[in-house]
Structure 1
Amino acid sequence: MAAPAPSARHPESPPRDNDDVRRCRHPSNPRTTRDKGVNMKPIRSRRSRLVVVAAAALSLGLVLTSCAGTPGTPGGGSGDGAAPTSLTLAIGQDNNSFDTALLENGHRAQYWLPVYDTLLLMDKDAQIQPGLATSWTYNDDHTVLTLELRKDVKFSDGAAFNAAAVKANVEHLKAGTGQNSVMVSTVERVETPSEYVAELHLSEPNPALLAYLTFVAGAQGSPDALNNADFATKPVGSGPYLLDAAKTVQGTVYSYTRNPDYWNKDAFPYDTIELKPMAEATARMNALKAGQIDGASGSPATVAEAKAAGLNVTQQPLDREGLLLVDRDGSVTPAMGDARVRQAINHAIDTEGILKSIQQGFGTATDQVFNTTSVAHVPELDNAYPYDPAKAKALLAEAGYANGFDLLLPENASVAANPIIEQQLGEVGIRVTWDKVPNDSWITAIQSGKYSAFWMRLTAGDPWWDVQKSILPEGVWNVFDNTNPELQAHIDAARTASDDAAYASALQDVNRWLVKEAWFQPWFVADTVYFTAKNVNVTMHPQNVVPYIRGFAPAS
């Protein structure tokens, strides 16, 4: 999980969950059929939790040091109205690696997507579509996924793309140390019954797998290059572009030219692409207004400025913000082991007010952790805990805490809602003491087990993704490994569901249980914001904080 660029919430926000397949939002109909359109996220191991923590500490990239095109004519266009032939984007983080075992999603996906194809694709409605795999089927118990592969694809080094290449890439990712090795953790082996058929044999059903194959798990590098000593800086893929090493300077600019042998040229209209690491939101905005770049992530705070400058503004709901009430057994703070106390915290905080004041209304208030577009979403749960300090006090008294209790919370000065949290919890008797945590230590600190609750911004994504990262005991955000037999029964019912209706019903049961037991104190699902120049259209990826490269096109 990598630290993101300054978020839409605050100009210089603390690290949030990139998780990495980030910034994943949920498909409106994730399992349209049982073999096409699946949910996300395999179980986190202890090893993967440490990897996520370490990855989150990575520093942001450098600011813009060069520009493309003429000021006022983004993309290097001629200024005469002709469609641009080049695309220049600013990215909030520097690239970490081109090694397919170390790839990340989120902001960094834009670096590797030009050079690597994925086995499957996800469209704007979060439906699974063919990529390098033309079709896919599961066996009856969903433990074998069979992929039929394209027969007309070669890697840029001339090697053939085939089932053997799929096997090599899955094994390379699984054996690697990257945070996304967890995506193939349930793949026990890959068999190749013929040259263009690959079978992924699973240890257990994984409702996330098809979606993962649209992300890092599906990225295909040349099998002859996977173990090259310089693979991290010299990618060899079958993608629409080639990295231009002569014009690339790590930390400053990454330059790409068309792959002349690409099998799907029409899907990518630009001849060249330049990607510039640029950590500061202000620098990105200035570069957009000056015509030095064509696209960059933005924030609600700068939407008015972007519109006034004539930029295109695109937004979509993506991240859930609020408190994670992780000490559900009362291991550190005994009061937190009582569901009534956690319910009181939900009633004590004015989430609608926070959405308006901190997020400037760019989002949707909710009391559940699942996205409003998810099959797990239950509309009546959105206002399960209305702001009601009197009710909060009554619940505390009922739980034996009429005089309140002390609660230690980690403080990052970048979280603008801190004063609101302290004031409103204090008004019902919960006395907050802040423990200052530096921005670059945030993820490590909150996962240390020292704190019973903490602020976090997480993806409100695919429901299975959310279950596995935040709810199962081995989930990376289930810090105290909490579990419950009733909850686990609902989860197991979802995992083994025989059809879409049963799957949705089981996940809704998970949702109802979580809200009743107040495992979380969500505030809202925030909108992610992306800005582009007037002559560039963009289609947002439904489960990533920034668009995929195939989502950019000249404005018609």
Structure 2
Amino acid sequence: MKLRTALSSPVSRCLAVVAAAGLLASACSSGSNSNSSSGAGGGTLVVGYTADPNTLDPWRATQFQAAHMLEQVYGTLTQLDTNMNVQPGLAASWQYSDDNKTLTLHLRQGVKFQDGQAFSSADVKSSLDRLRDPATAAVAASYIASVQSVDAPDANTAVLHLSTPDAGLLAGLATVNLAMLSKDNTEQQVSQKPNGTGPFSYTTRAPNQSVSLKANPDYWGGKPKVAALQFRIIPDESSVVSAMQSGNVNFAVLNDPTVAKTAQGSGLTLNKTPDLAYHALQLNSRKAPLNNLNVRLAMQCAISRQQVIDTAALGEGTPIGPITSPAFKSDPNSQPCATQDVAKAKTLLSQAGFPNGLTINTIVSTGLYATSVNEAQNLQSQLKAVGITLKLQTLDSAAYVDAWKAGNFTAALALNGGSPDPDGMYGRYFTSTGNLNKVAGYSSPQLDQLFAQGKSTTDPAQRKQIYTQISNNLVDNAAWIWLFSSYDYTAMTKSVSGFTPMPNGSLINLWKTSLG
């Protein structure tokens, strides 16, 4: 992942240390409303979407479309800038104490939920307590696994007591999956009508048609540049571009390189941003025949990642290892069969007891991202050459997400979001207690120990060594088959200006975007 130049202000330099080491003994502060904007506040920005958001609950959102919409409505304790450095959010400043096992958050004052209620430390305590409760089934619960308890000594202060220093905690708190909810809102209420502190407030939803939001005039960062946002559901990316050309849609995120080139050639403005997200063939090693290591290694050796990129993504991508976090990036060549080795794949398959081949059921999404089916068909063709049949089951986005979250698959083709901190990427997947471990289908005592060391170590060089060991463990055991990272393409009509893309694919900057 390529990063832009580092920030130079004193506050930004302080926060860059937080992003690198995760821990800081003294406080960092944003001042008061440093991101405020006068805001034109005009017009409705229409965003083209290929899939209907499958939930209105930010704590359960794993679908990109749901997360992108909900981050407009909800606020988080910290935020990430375009360099993936931690910045203040609802927490205006913080400090560590007690050997980095106590984190004191000083909350931004004057913030309101969109129902008019004041935001306070009681909401922070309520949110974090509920997020930590296994009954909540929060998809990012592992991000805050180090939090043992939360105190609210006054309305503007929240104190997090940690079991161990946690180098990834501040970056983890920036995800919408850890959004701050009102202490007075129940799960049922949130699922029907979101109530956050973000730049926009929820108004209406027409299932499989649109979700509408309006500008929040009380947003602590300043008045949004548009009066409203509408996320409009359109079946495929080519149709989204057609809607943009006709003036019915102003903005879209595209995954298909072919469609992106068409959009650019038709006069639309296109941003191409290297992405932290990664494409992978996820293998459930708890299910036969993938419980056999040699079968998984045979699949890894049989696949040319570059061929997948060239065939399914028109060459728009780079082969990867497990970790795409910039400071901890895996060496894509440090794995068994870094390049395709068909002979070795056949030998491994024979050693596994399948000299005549085998069949593996594989789920594939339609609607979540554009290249999924093409990737699956290319992998199917490559694996067939060594006697492995991928039996593809294509599912709509909602059915795919349900099966994926339940771990109800043998193999799954997936595009997973990346994170600036590797613990945030994988702690919830590949630790035995991780809340998405049934999705990962793999864990080990060695990985549990390594992840614990990675969280508690504050020295960046030592953390790099630890996560290199984790990466090597994952590829040596072919836990999944990591394929490639690509690009996010954001397309805009000429009337749109001011949007800044993020390396993690976030659309959080839509509130700073104008209609001309």
Q: Under a length normalisation based on structure 1, what TM-score does the superposition of the two structures give?
A: 0.73
2:469 to 476, 490, 509: 509
Alignment partner of 1:468 is 2:427: yes
Q: Paired residue for 1:271?
A: 227
- 8 Å CA contact 1:83–1:535 kept in 2: the answer is no
CA distance in 2, matches of 1:107, 1:228: 20
Alignment partner of 1:348 is 2:313: no
Q: Paired residue for 1:303?
A: 260
Deviates more, 1:90-99 or 1:295-304: 90-99
- Evaluate the alpha carbon distance shift between residue 508 and residue 29 of structure 1 in structure 2; reply closer, same or farther with a 3 A threshold: farther
- 8 Å CA contact 2:53–2:63 kept in 1: the answer is no
2:111 to 137, 153, 168: 153
Task: Give the Å deviation of 1:233.
Answer: 4.3
Alignment partner of 1:543 is 2:504: yes
CA RMSD of aligned residues (A): 3.8
Alignment partner of 1:337 is 2:295: no
Q: Point out where structure 2 has 5 or more consecutive residues left out of the alignment.
A: 1-14, 26-39, 367-372
CA displacement 1:130-174 (0-9 Å, x = unmatched): 112111233455443211112233344443332223223334545
CA distance in 1, matches of 2:190, 2:479: 43
Counterpart secondary structure, 1:534: coil
Q: Paired residue for 2:334?
A: 381
CA distance in 2, matches of 1:120, 1:202: 17
Deviates more, 1:406-415 or 1:349-358: 406-415
Deviates more, 1:356-365 or 1:517-526: 517-526
- 8 Å CA contact 2:120–2:155 kept in 1: the answer is yes
Counterpart secondary structure, 1:352: helix
CA distance in 1, matches of 2:187, 2:297: 54
- 8 Å CA contact 2:23–2:167 kept in 1: the answer is no
Identity level (%): 24
Alignment partner of 1:127 is 2:80: no
Q: Paired residue for 1:455?
A: 413
- Evaluate the alpha carbon distance shift between residue 353 and residue 119 of structure 1 in structure 2; reply closer, same or farther with a 3 A threshold: same
Task: Give the Å deviation of 1:104.
Answer: 6.2
* Code of the aligned partner of 1:425: L
Task: Give the Å deviation of 1:295.
Answer: 0.7
Task: Give the Å deviation of 1:83.
Answer: 10
Counterpart secondary structure, 1:407: strand
Counterpart secondary structure, 1:360: coil
Counterpart secondary structure, 1:265: coil
- 8 Å CA contact 1:97–1:233 kept in 2: the answer is no
Task: Give the Å deviation of 1:451.
Answer: 6.2
Q: Paired residue for 2:455?
A: 495
- RCO higher in 1 or 2 (8 Å CA, sep ≥ 6)? 1
Counterpart secondary structure, 1:314: strand
Counterpart secondary structure, 1:416: helix
- Evaluate the alpha carbon distance shift between residue 459 and residue 98 of structure 1 in structure 2; reply closer, same or farther with a 3 A threshold: closer
Q: Paired residue for 2:493?
A: 533
- 8 Å CA contact 2:275–2:487 kept in 1: the answer is yes
Q: Point out where structure 1 has 5 or more consecutive residues left out of the alignment.
A: 1-26, 38-81
- Evaluate the alpha carbon distance shift between residue 143 and residue 130 of structure 1 in structure 2; reply closer, same or farther with a 3 A threshold: same
Matches within 5 A, 1:113-262: 113-140=71-98, 142-174=100-132, 177=136, 179-180=138-139, 182=141, 183-184=143-144, 186-203=146-163, 206-216=166-176, 218-223=178-183, 225-227=184-186, 230-244=189-203, 252-262=209-219
Alignment partner of 1:554 is 2:507: no
* Code of the aligned partner of 1:346: Q
CA distance in 2, matches of 1:236, 1:289: 34
CA distance in 2, matches of 1:361, 1:494: 34
Q: Under a length normalisation based on structure 2, what TM-score does the superposition of the two structures give?
A: 0.78
CA distance in 1, matches of 2:257, 2:335: 23
CA displacement 1:494-513 (0-9 Å, x = unmatched): 13214222111100111122
CA distance in 2, matches of 1:121, 1:494: 22
CA distance in 2, matches of 1:148, 1:384: 50
Equivalent pairs counted in the alignment come to 474
CA distance in 2, matches of 1:258, 1:446: 34
- 8 Å CA contact 1:88–1:273 kept in 2: the answer is yes
Counterpart secondary structure, 1:189: strand
2:317 to 338, 360, 363: 363
CA distance in 2, matches of 1:242, 1:450: 35
CA distance in 2, matches of 1:466, 1:96: 22
Task: Give the Å deviation of 1:465.
Answer: 2.8
- 8 Å CA contact 1:314–1:530 kept in 2: the answer is yes
Q: Paired residue for 1:32?
A: 20
